[in-house]
Each structure stands twice: as structure tokens, then as C-alpha cells.
Amino acid sequence: MSRRPSIDQQPAWQALEAHAREMRDVHLKTLFEDATAAGRERYALYSRSAAGLTLDLSKQRFSEETFEGLMALAREAGVPEAISRLLAGERVNQSEDRPALHTALRLPADAHLEVEGHDLVPAVHETLDRMEAMVDKFLAGQWRGATGKAISDVVNLGVGGSDLGPLMVTHALADYRPDGVHDINVHFASTMDGSQLADYLARLNPETTLFVLSSKSFTTIDTLSNARTARDWLLGRLVHDDHEEPHAIDRALVMRQHFIGVSASPEKMAEWGIAPANQLEFWEWVGGRYSLWGAIGLPIALMVGMPNFRALLGGAHAMDRHFQEAPLEDNLPVLLGLAGIWNVNFLDIRAHSILPYDGRLEYFASYLEQLEMESNGKSVTNEGEMTAYSTCPVLWGQLGPNAQHAFYQLLHQGTQSVECDFIAPLRRYDRVENDDTRAHLKAQHRLTLANCFAQSRLLMLGDDAIEDDGPRPSHKRYRGNQPSSTVLLDRLTPHTLGALIALYEHKVFVQATIWDINPFDQWGVELGKQIAGETERILGSREGLETMDDSSRGLIEALWGAEDQASKEAATSSAGQS
């Protein structure tokens, strides 16, 4: 690819900068009033629908001139061409010289995607078929542990994309557990300190527990530390090596019946002890935070069954097709991405809050934190130059109804602007059988939507959202003019959830294209891992402290002091018992 001039030196960017100076003092209330006076409704101008989703950008602080300027910027940055390169399997991950083909994981079986001489689709569906065979065996109660009892608890050991994606989706789709099958409880342990895992090990039955080790490289210390603890727990409780015993259980049987591995490294899985029949593969061309669509999604499929998992893929593929085929002006990921560009780069709004108004989306904000900040938290362009402009905003969020009682105070009356995304399903509780219960739950859903719509309106209008009841003291005033987007799902289903996730994946790519950064690597986390390994060696050996800075030496010495004190107390206690 030829080197391009810095995007902030391009005519469309500079035109938007000049336009932004005019728009910074324009209130959203005025933008709505001007549109109405001109016989135009902002909702009709700035809302679009696709794949079971509706995106409303009418509460973003832009005018029709802004909208046209952003379209020009997208074309000048080569967004249409970049979309084609991504979906065709070109090497868009430049620093690692490989394609980024998470979209291939959701192609239908009759599709064809040839990348560098190989059709990827058959291998993708071979893995899905192997997953389906495993899932069907679990849900039929036929996957049995070493003692012959059916597995009832599956613990996913992973971190980052190997944890956040499956965790978020299994929680979101808990309503879609299949009926009439053996019940599988799915759990997640990611923290390297072992606290999550220790809780499970205290409660679960080793005879009926299986662990899924999910790690792209199969070298992630967080996951392998938990995996070793899980292995020791199982072997210590199940293995009886006396083969003269009538019910002897050996190590190989436990490893075969209680562990599944998911990785791009079959060799490392085998070396660790994962049986070949229990290995599921994904590929180097799938980034970890984009991997829930393949074998990393095994916990999802165990929870909802393969038909619903395939529906999740279908929703994502529908958004992929929309992303590929829709013109820029109607393209949901492009529009959502450009709204973010406008806020970050031209209105200087560098904080972004994700606010789902549905308890099933409890982990969606956490998922997007990784997706966006690990992807676009970059300050070096694809050409190796420092960016002269801001890139990814700080992202955070929480369930909207809970956040109203937590940080909405800052949104409404704080000293900085925050862009917000409100996310909600239009319909819920249709499948509740009891009439009275369904009526009550639907009323609660209406109340939730009322709060969702009201909060975005109040952020937009401020005090003008409230009927004039006389002068208000300063501490009760709302400034308004806070930009937000709203994403409505027809209802939360596997299909619409797949589309929603893909919407944000592609939004990230659009923004990365305009910022000329690589959203598919994460070198910023590597050095921390390296230094942590060196520090761990010093902690264990108590040698090499002189190489550390003064602060680190003080912290390490404090730890050693605590360890020495614990040893003395243990020795004293032992002597007293004697």
C-alpha cells in the first residue's frame, strides 16, 4: 500500500475543522428547532435500520453540512476500499502481515472465500461441525467424567477475548437455553490471582466438572496458571493409580474426560495434555477479541445450543453484508464510526459511555471496552508516524438503570462532555406464559424504555426538557447539549445480538481506517507481560533487586517483609501446637 498524507492534512478534515469552530457553540435544541422550521425531522434525517437494528443519530451535535463533511472524510480516507480489503481477506493487519478474517467465521457453509489460494469456508465449518458434535454430546448427557457421571458444569478458563466475548453473550442469551436437554452450567474464570477459580473449586463436584482452556497462543500466563490449578484439583481428587483396584482411574482418563482446549496452537495443547479429539482450532488470522464467532464460542453453544449459536453467526453475517453493500450514507457501522470521529476529533469529546437498558446486556460495556480500546488505543500510524490527532476515547459503561444512580450526575452536570450510546430492545417478555406475570414484566420494560428515552432527551435539551416552573438555582440546572446515539433492537435474540456485536466491530474498523492505525494488533500489552515475568523471577529468587527502580524496590521489599512475617507466625504457631 502506498503511503498516504496524514489524514489531518487532507481537505475534508480541514474543512471539518473550520466547520467545527462554527458548531461548537450551537446547541442541540437549536439544531432540532432549525430542522423543524425547515420542514425536516432530524429523526428521519439521521436514523437508519438494518439486520434487526435501528440506529438513531439525531441527538448527535451535527448539521446536514456536518453530515456531508463526514461523508467526504470517509471517502477521502478510503473507507469503501478498506471495507472491500477487509472482507476480501487482504493483509489489513500490517504490523503482523496477515489478514483479519473474523468475518469468515460467520460465512454460511455455501459461501466461498479464497484467501491467498485457499478457500477458508470448509475449515471454518469443519470446526463448527466438530463443536456441534461436542455440544450435542454434552446436552444429551453423554459426555461423562472419569467416574462415569455426566458432566454438568463447564468452567471456561480464558482472559481478554477468550473470556469477555463468551461471558457477555452467554449472559445476554440466557433466555435461549434449549428445552428438554441435559442442563449444563457454564462458568468463567479469568483472573490470574485464582480468586474466581477458587470459588468454583470450593463448590463444584470434580466428577462432573470439565474445563475449557481457551487461549489463542496457549502461552497466556493468566489462563495457564488457572489451568494448572484446575488440573491439580482434578487429579488430586479423582486419580487412583492402583490398577489392581476394580475402579482405578488414571491420569490419562481424567485429562481426556475433563479438559477441552481451544487454541491456534495444537502442538502446545497436546504438550499440555489435551487429547487430540478434545482440541478445537482457530486461526492466526482471527484476533482474540474478535474470536467468539468460532471455537472460542464453545461456552456460548453449550449454553444456548448450536442452532442458536448459528443464529448468532447469521445476525453478524447480515451486518457484514450490510457493511459491504450499503452506501456510506445508509451504512450503520460507517455512520456510528463517523459520529465518534466528529466527537473525538472535532468537538474534543474524548469520553464515551455505553449504556444498555436491558439487564441481559450487563457485560456489553466491558466487552466493548476491550474491543475499542485494545483495537484503537494507538498513537502510531500504519506508516510508523506519531498521530497529530486524538484516536480512541476512554470508554466505560454500565447498565443504564443502575448507572442513573451512579455516574449520570457527571453526565448531566459535570465539567466535561461525554458521548453516550443508549442500547435497548423494543420488545421483551412476549414468551412469558403467565398472563399476569407477563403484564407486570412488560410494564417494567416500558418503564425501562421510558428512562432510556428520557435520559437521552435530558442530555440533549438540559433544562429545556422540563416545563418552566420558574427560576432554578445553579446547582439544579442542566446544561444539555450532550451528544448521544441510540441503538434499538427489534428484540434481543441471537440474530440481533450477532448484528449488534458486528456493528461495533465494524465501527472500530471504520475509525481505525480514518485514523490510519491498525486495529488488529495490541503491542501495547506485550511489554507489561515481559516486565511482569522478570519481576516474578526477582520475587521468587530474591536476586536482582538492584536492577529495579527505587519505587519498585520498596514495593518488593514490603512483600518480602510480609512473607517473612507470615513464615515466622507459622513457625510460632507450629511450635505452640507441638
Catalytic machinery residues? 374, 405, 529
Beta-sheet strands, E only, within 322-438: 351-356, 394-397, 419-427
CA distance 536 to 542: 10
Rg from Cα positions in the chain = 26
395 C-beta neighbours (distance < 10 Å), count: 21
Question: What cell numbers appear for 479 in the block?
Answer: 446544561
Q: Is 380 exposed, middle or buried (0-12, 13-18, 19+ CB in 10 A)?
A: middle
Cell numbers describing residue 552: 519498585
Is 385 strand, coil or helix? coil
Q: How far apart are CA 100 and CA 218, in angstroms?
A: 20
Q: Which three cell numbers stand for residue 404?
A: 442513573
Question: Among 300, 304, 297, 303, which residue's Cα sits nearest to residue 282?
Answer: 297
* Closest to 51 in 3D by CA, of 313, 297, 242: 313
Residues composing the chain: 578
Nearest-5° angle of CA 500, CA 503, CA 506? Answer: 150
**Please, which residues bridge with residue 56 across strands?**
47, 486
Pairing of strands 53-56, 185-189: unpaired
Count of CB atoms situated within 10 Å of the CB of 15: 16
The per-residue b/e assignment along 498-519, b for 16 or more CB within 10 angstroms, e otherwise, is bbbbbbbbbbbbbbbbbbbbbb
Intra-chain end-to-end CA distance of the chain, in Å: 75
Give, as one character, the DSSP assignment of residue 117: T
SS (H, E, C) 502-541: HHHHHHHHHHHHHHCCCCCCCHHHHHHHHHHHHHHHHHHH
Provide the 3-class DSSP secondary structure of residue 111.
Answer: coil
Other beta carbons within 10 Å of 350: 17
